[in-house]
Amino acid sequence: MPRYFIEVAYKGTNYSGFQVQDNAGSVQEEVEKALGVYFRSAPALTGSSRTDTGVHARQNFFHVDFESIIDPSCIYNINAILPPDIVILNITPVVAEAHCRFDAVSREYRYYVYGEKDPFMADRAYFFPYPLDLGKLNEAAALVLRHTDFTAFSKKRTQVRSFICSIEESRWMMEAGSLIYQVRANRFLRGMVRGLVGTMLQVGREKMSLDRFREILRQKDNRQVDFSVPGHGLFLFRVNYPVSVWQHTTAETDRAGASPQ
């Protein structure tokens, strides 16, 4: 049975997260509903990366096994069924054993902060109207690169067995009037990006020293971490896969569509 990766983007304001939940609307629920209307049967989707209530995504993925070849031209019609805050970008055939969650080699998040009141940013970035030292923020971000154990930056009530993460990129930058924290890693813990952002903002505001931030990174006590920044400033920006995932195994699946570049 052919397997496909479904690439989606969404504004998470109206949803309680990416994956299906009991008694709460999710992105997955809306996509499964739209696919069910179009194909007249609702396929079971597997999600790549969980995102919390209000968190957005420029790129996220599902995978699905489908009994027939999916013509990419159907994307237009499925998007017409989806609500305006969710879009399917691509439906791509992949190798039969490809898994959109476990085969991801890294994920990239961006957190957006703005300092002057702007009604057009209110649900897509964190309004933080305080002076910030970009140099100190980047010094703190550089410290993140030197650590692998992020026990302190994981919220409680998590089922993970390991708190080890390999951080490949960690930096603050200015872009179009917004201050952005960009971080890429092989995996992330529950609440980790928001904990890093909230705590580093205290460094940038000079309410916390770099030495204190370094000490928090070394400790395993999340009571010292600021998880209070809102979800609506966070975007899952990119999910990266090895080239082997996109290598089709049959000529039949090749006709279904091209692999993303």
Domains of the chain: 3-103+242-254 (3.30.70.580), 106-237 (3.30.70.660)
Residue 25's pLDDT is: 85
Q: What average pLDDT does the segment 164-188 reach?
A: 96
Is the pLDDT assigned to residue 63 strictly greater than 60? yes
Rg (CA), the chain: 20
Spell out a b/e string for 215-224, using b for 16 or more CB atoms within 10 Å of the CB, else e: ebbeeeebeb
Instruction: Check pLDDT > 70 for residue 259.
Output: no
- pLDDT reading at 68 higher than 90: no
Is a pLDDT exceeding 60 seen at residue 93? yes
CB of 156 closer than 8 Å to CB of 228: no
pTM of the model: 0.91
Mean residue pLDDT of the chain comes to: 91
Which pLDDT score, from 0 to 100, does residue 19 have?
78
Q: Across-strand partners of 238? A: 108
Q: What average pLDDT does range 68-82 have in this prediction? A: 94
Give the residue, 100 or 254, on which the prediction is more confident.
Answer: 100
253 confidence band (pLDDT: 50, 70, 90): very low
Average pLDDT over residues 74-97: 96
- What are the b/e assignments for 136-174, b being 16+ CB within 10 Å? bbbbbbebbeebeebebbbeeeeeeeebebebeebebee
Secondary structure of residue 227 in the 3-state scheme: coil
Residues forming the active site:
52
Overall average pLDDT of the 136-143 stretch: 98
Q: What is the pLDDT of residue 257?
A: 40
Cα of first residue to Cα of last residue in the chain, in angstroms, is: 24
Question: Do residues 58 and 236 make contact, with C-beta atoms less than 8 angstroms apart?
Answer: yes
**pLDDT confidence of residue 194:** 97
| Mean pLDDT across 55-71 | 93
Residue-wise pLDDT tens digits, 192-217: 999 999 999 999 999 999 999 999 99
Instruction: Kindly report, residue by residue over 115-128, the tens digit of the pLDDT.
Output: 999 999 999 999 99
User: What was the pLDDT predicted at 252?
Assistant: 43
Task: Judge whether residue 157 has pLDDT over 90.
Answer: no
